A and B are shown apart, each in its own frame.
Chain A
Amino acid sequence: MQKSFKKVESWNIGRLECWAHHSIIPLFRYSSLILLAMTVLLLPVKSFSAETVKLKFLQSVYFDDRGGGIKQPEGVACNDKSVLVIGDTGNDRLLRYTLEEKNLKAGSEIKIPQLSNPIRVQINSKGEIFALDGKRRRVVRLTPEGAFKGYVDAEGVPAPSVFIPRSVKIDANNNIYLLDIFSARVLILNPEGKYQKQIPFPQEYGFFSDLAVDPKGSVLLVDCVKAMVFSAAKGSNSFAPLTRSLREYLDFPTNISTDSRGIIYLVDENGGGIVILGQDGSYLGRQLSAGWNEGLLNFPSQMSINEKGEVFIADRGNSRIQIFSLMK
């Protein structure tokens, strides 16, 4: 721009008139068109900046209430009452904390014979804990105090009756969603664990490693092989791709979650980062990176977000849970 101004300055008046005639006057003539084009060009930029989400490191959790170290945790869940449950996978146990005003309390151990290798954890609105046993591949249901209540056996599930859950999610109404990789479907169960509905996997996919339910009730699946997200709107009986391959932004997404606004978060396990997508699947950015220091991730496994915007990440490779806050 400066260069062109210099050029104009050195020109004589006649040339300037000529430049004005050919450049400025058509600008006014087509001003409405130019305005429209600029609006179209600028709008996505504006919406992008409005949607940008950042994670601010708050603290890390390393120990239980007796000073015992956490070992390779793969599961983490929190609720709006600031109850935090950690799947301490390497120690075959769960740990229960409360987080009040950024102060972490207790860290009491929940160790029951019915649960080993907890790799995914969820909490429902009643405070009941659901943990996926990675060894037995069953979902265990516990009371808020940590007593064994039973297995989630999908009572009344239609043929094929065999199901192998790779992940579990609980929605706002306490319905249970199981990612059944053996029969290639998502099983939707009522809060008591009775079969309600199933949604078959799409025809073409690589491998689904996790599922999420957004605030509108849409079920989301993350394909770690194709690096894609699929979605089925509430009431729909089929999945459709929500994104194209996100390979350019991440390596191996193994966990998916959404916040109260429906923003989607993918945990990039091999890449050590969090990829953020809009409700429509549009790429909004990437947060955090791989490393050992606090605020960095080393093969992260599960991520959980509560209403307060507190983010909990099971940082498996660093044997800790990291707590962040969402900065919008």
Chain B
Amino acid sequence: MSLRFKWFFLSVLIISLLVFSLAYAQNKFKLKPDAKGKLCLSCHDNFKEKLKNPFVHTPVKTGECSECHNPHTASHGKLLDEDPNKICNKCHEGIVPKNPKSSHKVVMEGNCIKCHDPHASNNKFVLLKAGNELCFTCHKAIGDTITKVKFKHNPVEKGCLNCHDPHASAKSDNLLKNDQVSLCVSCHRTDGSNFVKQHVNYPVAKARCTSCHDPHGSNKGGILFDNVHAPVASRQCGQCHEAPTSPTPFKAKRPGFELCRGCHSNMMNETFTKNRIHWPLVDKVGCLNCHQPHASPRKNLLMGEMKSLCGKCHQDTMGLQTRLAEKERQEKAAAKDNVMKGALTHNPIQEGNCEACHISHASDSVFLLKQPSMIELCGTCHDWLKHTSHPMGEKVADSRNKNLRIDCLSCHRSHGTGYRYLIPFPTVTDLCVQCHKQYKR
């Protein structure tokens, strides 16, 4: 066989394969002409009504049901040809930019049907609901706030998508379409005399607006967050910052906690008389480790909910809470109707109420506890005399160690252990025989 003939034969083979695979891809089920969507609808009669919707998914419109479904057999529900969390990506691959700065959890999980109807709907982009209503099905708290607030932010009312990208953002956190400042100044002129006056001549054009303003609207004028630091509310920025004409106008007048001490001297003095301090309070960042300097949606200008705020540093403690909550959920599901005795988790921590037991600034007690006596502290919520008759208190020495006294922590771990009743052993017997060794089997 000559070389030329071999080349010719090979080319014909490749072209035939290409044509065949293309034809197969287009009609892999060898459907009769005109049988595509119509054939499916002959049984799936109820779809005819659905397809009357103004917005129909393209493959549905063109009758390519087999683009997503296998008419014969499938490994996935609804005879889907692929994993339901991946099937949309077959066509809509570029929906998430490469290395996004933020992404919508449902998108990353492939839960597209949380927002879109895969067949047809009354709304553009085959969305399940129109406008903000769709977003508020999940983000209910924001929806409620936006409805209730006195001072509304116009673009929010018009639609979340004015500022947010529903899938992912290549440029900013929180799915913002652009970086925060650029987004704000695209509507708000920063050189207007009123703007300059409101900001007391400080050059805030490039500053982070959400340090003071709630972009979703608020009950305070100028959509400032609901809790405003007094000097901000009275426009006395110079109390903390250098003059607006200074080369470094935003620089704080004093470092760390020393700046706050000027006004909060009573609180600070009381803090510094305690035996133990929460060390971040006296580091370079100081009070701003936990508090916002200007305004916050939370009481005491806290940076976040206590659970996430404390968890920022105490990841081990908060990580344990997440694991324990999940374990509790699984064990409850497995137990079905049987009542599970003893808790795996401690409610105040699960609720993010760390201050039920700890003082966040300083305390005379170890672990910055509210009270020196563990029995007294636990007793503020638990009537221990009702749940145990075990001797406890300053006069009862721990048989394992003469320097220890029997208190609640002799048997329980307040942050949880993975065992019920928050005990550090799998069973109560295992716990008791630590001291009552004569009963050890």
Task: Give a binary string over B397-432; 1 marks a CB under 8 Å from any A CB, 0 the rest.
Answer: 010111110000000000000000000100000000
Complex A-B, nearest 5 residue pairs according to Cβ-Cβ distance, in ascending order: A319-B403, A251-B316, A181-B283, A69-B403, A184-B284
| Bound form: Cα–Cα A261–B275 in Å | 36
Number of B interface residues, CB 8 Å? 27
The answer to whether B314 touches A116 (Cβ under 8 A) is: no
Q: Which of B276, B279, B424 has the most CB of A within 10 A?
A: B279
Contact A206/B313 with A292-B434, A318-B404, A320-B403 known, Cβ cut-off 8 Å: yes
- Chain B residues with CB below 8 A from A160, complex form: 255
Question: Does B22 reach chain A (CB closer than 8 Å)?
Answer: no
Decide: B366 and A292 in contact? CB cutoff 8 A.
no
B282 close to A164 (CB less than 8 A): yes
Q: In the assembly, what is the distance between CA of A72 and CA of B434, in Å?
A: 22
Residue of A nearest to B405 (CB): A319
A285 interface residue, CB < 8 Å from B? Answer: no
Q: Does A93 reach chain B (CB closer than 8 Å)?
A: no
- Docked Cα-Cα span, A270 to B282, in Å, equals 22
Known contacts A135-B275, A162-B255, A292-B398; decide if A182 and B284 are in contact (CB<8 Å): yes
Bound together, the chains give a CA A252 to CA B97 distance in angstroms of 36
Which residues of B does A touch, CB under 8 Å? 255-256, 258, 274-277, 279-280, 282-284, 312-317, 366, 398, 400-404, 424, 434
Is the pair A292, B284 in contact by a Cβ cutoff of 8 Å? no
B258/A162 in contact, CB under 8 A: yes
A253 to chain B, nearest CB (A): 10
Taking a contact as CB atoms under 8 Å apart, the answer to whether A183 and B403 are in contact is no
Does A316 sit within 8 A of B, measured CB to CB? yes
On whether the beta carbons of B404 and A225 are closer than 8 Å, the reply is: no
* In contact, B401 and A184 (Cβ under 8 angstroms): no
Interfacial chain B residues near A207, Cβ < 8 Å: 279-280, 283, 313
Q: What chain A residues lie within 8 Å of B400 (beta carbons)?
A: 292-293
For chains A and B in complex, what number of residue pairs have CB atoms within 8 angstroms?
75
A117 touching B313 in the complex, CB below 8 Å, given contacts A162-B258, A292-B398: no
Decide yes or no whether A137 CB sits under 8 A from chain B: yes
Q: Are B317 and A316 in contact (CB under 8 A)?
A: no
Is the C-beta of A141 less than 8 angstroms from some C-beta in chain B? no
Alpha-carbon distance A114/B238, docked complex (angstroms): 39
CB contacts (< 8 Å) of B282 on chain A: these are 137, 164, 181-182
- Would you mind naming 29 contact pairs between A and B with Cβ atoms under 8 Å apart? A62-B402, A62-B403, A69-B402, A70-B403, A71-B403, A90-B366, A116-B275, A134-B275, A134-B276, A135-B274, A137-B282, A160-B255, A162-B258, A181-B279, A183-B255, A184-B283, A207-B280, A207-B313, A225-B312, A252-B314, A252-B316, A292-B398, A292-B404, A292-B434, A293-B400, A318-B404, A319-B401, A319-B404, A320-B403
Q: Enumerate chain B residues within 8 angstroms of A164, measured Cβ to Cβ.
A: 282-283
CA distance A90 to B404 in the complex (A): 12
Q: What 13 additional pairs, Cβ within 8 angstroms, besides A90-B366, A247-B316? A: A69-B402, A69-B403, A137-B282, A164-B282, A182-B283, A184-B284, A270-B316, A271-B316, A290-B424, A292-B398, A292-B404, A318-B403, A318-B404
Q: How far is the CA of A62 from the CA of B280 in the complex (A)?
A: 32
Q: Does A255 contact B (CB under 8 A)?
A: no
Q: A137-B277, A252-B314 are in contact. Are A72 and B366 (CB under 8 A)?
A: yes
Q: Do residues B284 and A181 form an inter-chain contact, with CB atoms below 8 A?
A: yes
CA distance A271 to B317 in the complex (A): 10
> Which of B275, B280, B402 neighbours the largest number of chain A CB atoms within 10 Å of its CB?
B275
When the two chains form their complex, are residues A117 and B276 in contact, meaning their CB atoms are under 8 A apart?
yes
- The 8 A CB mask of A292-328 against B (1 = contact, 0 = none) is 1100000000000000000000001011100000000
| Residues of the A chain whose Cβ atoms lie less than 8 Å from the Cβ of B276 | 117, 134-135
Asked whether, in the complex, the Cβ of A316 is within 8 Å of the Cβ of B366, the reply is yes
Chain B residue numbers with a CB within 8 Å of A184 are 283-284
Whose C-beta in chain B lies nearest to the C-beta of A319?
Answer: B403
Q: Are B279 and A225 in contact (CB under 8 A)?
A: no
Complex: chain B residue closest to A135, CB-CB: B275
Find chain B residues with CB under 8 A from A117 CB: 275-276
Residues of chain B within 8 A (CB-CB) of A320 are: 401, 403
B315 A292 Cβ-Cβ under 8 A: no
Q: From B415, which residue of chain A is reached at the shortest CB distance?
A: A270
Q: Which A residues are in CB contact (< 8 Å) with B314? A: 252
> Residue A166 at the B interface, CB < 8 A?
yes
In A117-176, which residues have CB < 8 Å from any B CB? 117, 134-135, 137, 160, 162, 164, 166
Q: Which of A247, A251, A271 has the most CB of B within 10 A?
A: A251
